[in-house]
Structure 1
């Protein structure tokens, strides 16, 4: 009421404003959708203590509560000023709001914190994972992107913006005519691309996109090679915790839209380097990226071969490449290297 007013009439139509105020915020970033997580609890704003495992799904809960699009990354780090904090369990955030999950004694202090980046102007909704779904953009409100409005280069920009790797599946979106986004491929965000049409998608036929959070490298095609996953903004080779079997390989091939599993092999002999340790039992029910447990140094890795896009697995001998050894045409889990 301290603001100047140009009209003092009451609302006779009955169409009143609905407002939601957040008791969650990201501070210190370039926009309201980037920064250090703080929550207001018991009337006091404090930094969130990043206890537990803050995976992509938990970070997505923060972005959801802020209406900030899709999660790009969340990173726990030290070095903040020593101050009092609120405990927030990441498993709780997946099911409820951040404020509802805030707990802890009023005297607890720490120098740790959680930094989050959300996509701000684009999101993928109703998909099988955090890197797949129907494409929506923020244009005053969340609006679906119609079939034909996005081409392959636009999909590459969008996937890179979400820190999700390359597009592995783009459904119903390759029409060269009527395209809204004209990306060259080097843009950092989809909304940086020139747009020729700002109309909303009235038909309801929206673009569905799947971005891979992992890749196969060093093979003859994108559907064969060593499994690498991008986690915490870094691509690394995967070293499975436990037995890697045909079911795990089938998940990799499915998520890359690469047909059926031909073989998967866990083996030693890679250059010693930092790897992501992935729980193979988790891969069967989720995705490779969401099953990263921790980082270590290792010479182990997984090699995978899939039948290829749109193909079903045939006899493994028929799909044997010129460099494949006969003893590779089976699924060998290899010994577990331990933590």
Structure 2
């Protein structure tokens, strides 16, 4: 009996590794090959975690956790359409499942496309209970699962007189297929022409049989354009030799909501003579704001890139992404920007959002804040379930959105903020750029090419915004440092050919920034610009409600302001009063006091820009200054003139309080490390010195209060646009009121 068991076990191991699946019933082996296997995650807090439930030929069940490893998690998550796995949980972490335990001892290698391909015990043969049901957490990023896409494929017989394709069971691999529009005499980026796909190392056309506007819409979306326009073949200006020179696909059938052409049903043909219409498929796309001249620069009076237009013209935007069209999704409701919960966030909803912003379709989605950091404000939308053809994300059915009124009762928190990466048009005219001489791939001196000549960039005026454009153009994420005079990276024999670079920070290429011109370079010797790039940065965001609710006036005697005066936290007129005089003894300063709480909603800690060995000790307050200015406070009149000012020296940067589940790491006591952890806040209460603006000399009237965090951009952030807060302020001489606080970018 013992020998027989060993033989049976050896037989199982042999057959499992060659792909045979056996069902053992009453001691006898029977071959059993499921016709249909489906996976779902159940009872998790989000749709990317939970117990792994499996439906085998319509029979519900679970999977045992025996021998489970990371490789099996990756296979399950990829089969579900996620980009991979993050963790697995043995039975008991999620509620027990029900039904049959279909799989036991699953031992995936990690390169399988589905769990059916992994070695395992015979289907249905398990000694486990539901206390051992496996659970997983997948990566929040999600891409279309091309392995599950159904593609109808046929080949021609090779006979010239055959008009229709003949079906075959052989699949055509259409994964990651490239698409372009072939035409001439049209502005860049190309938005109309004959549709071509890249197949077998060459560009091939598509037969126009059954081609319609829905097919064009998908092509336009994949190319980065939001919509398709009707077109007549006679209107397309293109050489006839490109029409059906090489042909690959025919009878393409798209619904119009797909992200890319490879999701559509299609047939393959081997000869242009099999195309009934004798015409190639044509598409014309809505250009929107993507307009370039012949040199790849924006046309006068038109916005070439949508970053400035999104918040003005639409109710949805992306934030905190390292590249254009990529980031956390935010929506505007009742004048307040909020986020979307990643629960049930899918490609269809992402397509609607991307098109609404003027981009193309989505190429990747993110189901949590891990990639872009947490947003602020309410989580406006939860469980968005778009069909895919809506004109606005607000038109999609959602949970907790009734009669057009948003609800904040969702269980979602900002940790599950949804994100997206949209298709954008390919840009011509980008400057060729490279990072040279660095010790790592993420750093180096910047060299650019003009004509056939490569040269360095002058570091005079080279700031974090310009460095950010360079890192983005290099595909290396954000800039964490803008390096000056990087002779240690070499290049002393390389000419400096670009100088005076001034960028806003949202350009796609350095040549879209202002500079001195290629024939007017002005630079000192050895002033060579460099960068250090990163994929993670902090993001400081002020609590605007706290500022508004905590403001009040205080008249404070001058003798009690000695330490504050040493830190220049009062108006200049206070220094005209002679210490020890009667005016000094009885003098008072009128202070607008308020509390502030500065959160770090980025993806890595915020640290002072200099090492603690360079911090300055302030004897009066008994603390170190880690940054010269951490936040500036100003009051301006209706003409923009500054009428009062204040600043806050960074005498202490610490985790005053953190979100639930986040540990405090930074404390200022005993010369401790200073900083702000991710999802923690540095709070300055109204009672602290310098947490005010001296308005003693300010006339009565209406003003704007302005708070700007990290105003000198000394520390790199993933998003500088949310660093400034403005509030309405009225002052009648004895009372001040602050209201309608908002981020300056939303004003």
TM-score bracket, shorter-length normalisation: 0.3 to 0.5
**Between Structure 1 and Structure 2, whose CA radius of gyration is higher?**
2
* TM-score, structure 1 normalization: 0.39
More strand by share: 1
* TM-score, structure 2 normalization: 0.20
